[in-house]
Every structure is written in structure tokens, then in C-alpha cells.
Amino acid sequence: MAVENKRIWVDYTVFGLSIFLAFCLLFESYIELPNLVAWIGRWHPLVLHFPIVLLLVAIFLGFRGKDIPNNLLVVATIGTLVTAISGFFLGSENTPKGDLLFWHEWLGSTLALAVVLWYWLDGMQLGKKVYSKALQILIIGLVGFTGHYGGMVTHGEDFLALPTEKRQNKIPENPLIYQDVVGRILENNCMSCHNPNKQKGELLMTNLKELLRGGEVGNTVIPGDAEQSEIIKRLHLPKEDEEHMPPDGKKPLNDLEIQILERWIDLGASDTMRLDHLEDTEPLVNLVRGLMEPDPMENWAKLPKVADSTLQNLSTDYITINRVASNSHALSVNVFLSPKFDSLVITNLQQLAKNIVELDMSGLPIGQQEMNMVSSCSNLEWLEIDGTPVTDTQVEVLRNLRSIRLLKIYDTKIGDKSIPVFKDLQSLKSLYLWKTDISEAALESLRLSRPSLLINSGIDNEIKTFFVETDSITNNK
């Protein structure tokens, strides 16, 4: 009798919870939950493992032909229902709901109701029938899918995907500041927690409208006032501060990224602003350009491998070969003048040609052979050949250097014939050119055709006078 009674109460509980769950499922959008209930929702990730294990154990026992202890099934059933309901409480904090969360909720609820059905069949001694077994297989499937969607809700959509690159594709030539720059920074660093499936701090970053609407603290983005915008305040907090964004354990934004967000907000947080709408003197222009520069480490990742022993064999007292970073195959080479300088020192570097990204041969008596070696360094970014006997004809070989960014070729005898070569080096950013035979007119034509090239053509006259006039040694004479 007592057993019968208990059974009835358990049935009532299961029935009641099922009805409540179905009610949640159907009328979710109409329910406003009190805070305490929302707090119960926070327990969802903790309790959910418990019924999963019980269910799998029960199904396993059944398939082995054993009797499933009734208590086990009771606890598993009620546990599943409670988990599903607490999940609803948790999910109701999120509006609007993302697809992942939507599917996770429906799969979880279907799972719970399937378990109730099994419980009911088992109570009617029908647990060993073929359709009961089929139901149990369905339950295993639902556990798998619900868990998978739940995992994607908590850890991001690509949770189980092989690790892939973030959105790294090239920023277009004339980017929309919000969409191509700001949006990308947020997407790569923040959106994993501020999206419809996982709306931390009630803040969504999926589009500008949501971002401007802000989160629970409010004043998330105040167009025109970065300093007072919550989003910027949080980026500037000390890393260990609980409110620093992104939270501890995630890669913080770098200064450039923070400054871009700041300046974009100060300029009104618009989504139609393009790079070429801005004056050249506007700081945002340079900041965005800085972000558009390819990350050198990425280019270098493709370089052929070189062993440390090779580097040691080629190094001497007069030549140092260093890795640009300890984990990189990009090399920086410095050659010094030795008493018995021999072209071989440099032509021997041929085997490393693809790896050399920085080469300093300042002041060496180099000739055609050495310059030929230089021309085969196709990844060279930084070249110093100042104070060498290099000629206009030899400068021609520099045309092969498609990655060259900086060239120091001052204090040489090169003349106007070298100018067309410099005009053609599209990647060149800085050119050091003083004390050469290049005419002022040729220099001017170079400036005109490459306005963004930084040409260091000598010390400013004013500064020169300053140095001469303030030279105390000459004065003392």
C-alpha cells in the first residue's frame, strides 16, 4: 500500500512537471520571470550532467537484459524535467533568441518528454517492447544533439569544429569603418559572449543597432563621447579587474584596436563612414591604416625552415645571423667589414636568400655579385646599403624585391637613373637618400608619383644650422 502511494505521488510530480514544461515551451514569450526564478536558471549547467548519466546507465542496463531499478528511472525522469525547466529559466534571460538556443531548447524539451513517455511505458510493464527500445535509442540521440547545441550555445558555434582562423581576410582598400574595421574587432574578440545565444550583460553586438541599444549597465556606446562610453571604460580597466573586457583568460585588445574603437565613437559611431571620407589629418586614418598592414608574422609563417646549425655554420665574427623572433624562420643578417673582406661571405648567404627579411651591409665594398645575391632575397623587407659603392646599374636589381619596406641607400654615388626603380617599388614605405648624386628635380618627381613614400633626403637646413652653431668644440678653437 505504501509503495502504491509513493508511486502515485511520483506520477503526479512527473505529470505536473511535464505540464509545466509544455507550458513554458508554448507560452515562453508571454512569461515574465521573477528574479529568484532566473537565479534557479543559473543552476542549469550544473544539474544537467546528472540526469544524462542516469539516463545512459538506465538504458545501458535495459539493453543488457537487466531489470531497470524503478528508483533509477524515477530520479532520471524527474532530473531531466528539472534540467529542462531550469534551462528555460536560463534561456528566458536572452531576448531575442538565437537559432542555436532555440534548437537547444526544443531538443531538450523533446528529450524530457520522451523520457516521460518511457517512464510511463515502463510503469505499464511495456519497457521491454520493441517500441520502448526504439524510444530509448531516440533518447540517446536526443541527449547527443541537445548536448551538442548546448555546447555551441556556451562555447560558440564552431565549438566542435577544428580550430580555424578568425575573420582575417584582407580589409578592403577603402573600408567602411564600422563594418570592415570596428565590426571585425568586435566579432573576433567580443561577439563570442555578446550574441543572441549568449547575451552576457544583456549586450548584443550582432549589429550597430543592438550595440547602440546597449546592455544592462547602459551608456554602452555614447556617440561622440568615447570617454563616457561603458564599452571604452571597460577596455581601459586593469586586466585583473572583474569588469575588464574581454574577461580574464581571453586575449585583450591591443592599443591600436582600442584607439580605433575610441576614435570611431568620438566621431559619432556611424556605420556609413568610409576611410576616404576622412581628412588625411584625422587620427583615425592612420590608426585604420595601421590595422590594414599585414601582420609580418603571418607572412613569415610560410618561409622555408632553416636549422640552427645552418645559421651557426654561416656565422662568423663578421657576420651575425639572427632569427627575427625565436619561433620564426625569418632572418636578420648583419655583415661587418673585415680586414680581408671577401664576396664569398655574402654570396654564401644564397642558400638562406628566401629567409632573409633584414639585411645590413652598410659601408661594405660590395659589387655586382653581392647585389645579385640581394636580388634573390625575395622576402627582403629591410635593406641597408648606405655608404657602399653601389651604382645606378646595380640598383636595377632591387626591382625584384617585392616586399621591401625600408631602404637605406644614403651616402652613395647613385643618381637620377635610380629614381624609376624607387617609383616602381610599390611596397616601399621609407627611403633614406641624403648625400647622393640625385638632383632636386628628380627627387620632386619621386615625391609626386609616390606621395605616401616617406623620403628622408637629409637633415633639415634649420637643424643643420643649429648643429653647426651650437658646436662648442669649434667655438673653443
Q: Applying CB under 6 A, which residues contact ligand HEC? A: 189-190, 192-194, 200-201, 203, 214-218, 220, 230-231, 234, 243, 245-247, 250, 253
Surface-to-core class of residue 95, CB atoms within 10 Å of its CB (0-12 exposed, 13-18 middle, 19+ buried): exposed
Q: Which is nearer to ligand HEC, 257 or 358 (CB)?
A: 257
User: What's the closest the beta carbon of residue 189 comes to ligand HEC, in angstroms?
Assistant: 4
User: What's the closest the beta carbon of residue 164 comes to ligand HEC, in angstroms?
Assistant: 17
**Burial track 358-383 (b if 16+ CB lie within 10 A, e otherwise):** bbbbbebebeeebbebbbebebbbbb
Q: Which is nearer to ligand HEC, 196 or 214 (CB)?
A: 214
User: What's the closest the beta carbon of residue 213 comes to ligand HEC, in angstroms?
Assistant: 10
Q: Which is nearer to ligand HEC, 230 or 358 (CB)?
A: 230
User: What's the closest the beta carbon of residue 159 comes to ligand HEC, in angstroms?
Assistant: 13
Give the three-class secondary structure for 53: helix
**Burial track 162-199 (b if 16+ CB lie within 10 A, e otherwise):** eeeeeeeeebeeebbbbbbbbbbbbebbbbbbbbbbbb
Q: Which is nearer to ligand HEC, 253 or 380 (CB)?
A: 253
Q: Which is nearer to ligand HEC, 233 or 405 (CB)?
A: 233
User: What's the closest the beta carbon of residue 201 comes to ligand HEC, in angstroms?
Assistant: 3
**In angstroms, rounded to a whole number, what is the distance separating the alpha carbons of residues 82 and 428?**
65
Residues 6+ apart with CB under 8 A from 44: 83, 86, 87, 89, 90
User: What's the closest the beta carbon of residue 434 comes to ligand HEC, in angstroms?
Assistant: 44
> Side-chain half-sphere of 34: how many Cα atoms within 13 Å?
2
Grid cell 511505458 in the structure block, residue = 121
Backbone angles phi, psi at 459, to 5 degrees: -75, 140
Q: Which is nearer to ligand HEC, 98 or 215 (CB)?
A: 215
C-alpha cell at 310: 645552418
> Side-chain half-sphere of 463: how many Cα atoms within 13 Å?
3
**In angstroms, rounded to a whole number, what is the distance separating the alpha carbons of residues 87 and 91?**
6
C-alpha cell at 352: 638562406
User: What's the closest the beta carbon of residue 50 comes to ligand HEC, in angstroms?
Assistant: 25
Q: Which is nearer to ligand HEC, 73 or 253 (CB)?
A: 253
Q: Which is nearer to ligand HEC, 54 or 231 (CB)?
A: 231
Q: Which is nearer to ligand HEC, 62 or 215 (CB)?
A: 215
DSSP string, 123-181: HTT-TTSHHHHHHHHHHHHHHHHHHHHHHHHHH-TTTTSPP---S-SPPPSS-BIIIII
The DSSP letter of residue 98 is P
User: What's the closest the beta carbon of residue 32 comes to ligand HEC, in angstroms?
Assistant: 20
**In angstroms, rounded to a whole number, what is the distance separating the alpha carbons of residues 310 and 332?**
14
Q: Which is nearer to ligand HEC, 182 or 409 (CB)?
A: 182
Q: Which is nearer to ligand HEC, 151 or 247 (CB)?
A: 247
User: What's the closest the beta carbon of residue 217 comes to ligand HEC, in angstroms?
Assistant: 3
Give the three-class secondary structure for 48: coil
Q: Cβ(109)–Cβ(25) under 8 Å?
A: yes
User: What's the closest the beta carbon of residue 162 comes to ligand HEC, in angstroms?
Assistant: 21
Phi-psi region of 412 (alpha: psi -120 to 50; beta: other; left: phi over 0): beta
C-alpha cell at 281: 589629418
User: What's the closest the beta carbon of residue 282 comes to ligand HEC, in angstroms?
Assistant: 23
Give the three-class secondary structure for 436: coil
User: What's the closest the beta carbon of residue 166 comes to ligand HEC, in angstroms?
Assistant: 12
The DSSP letter of residue 200 is G
Q: Which is nearer to ligand HEC, 109 or 189 (CB)?
A: 189
C-alpha cell at 154: 556556451
- CA 443: distance to chain centroid? 41
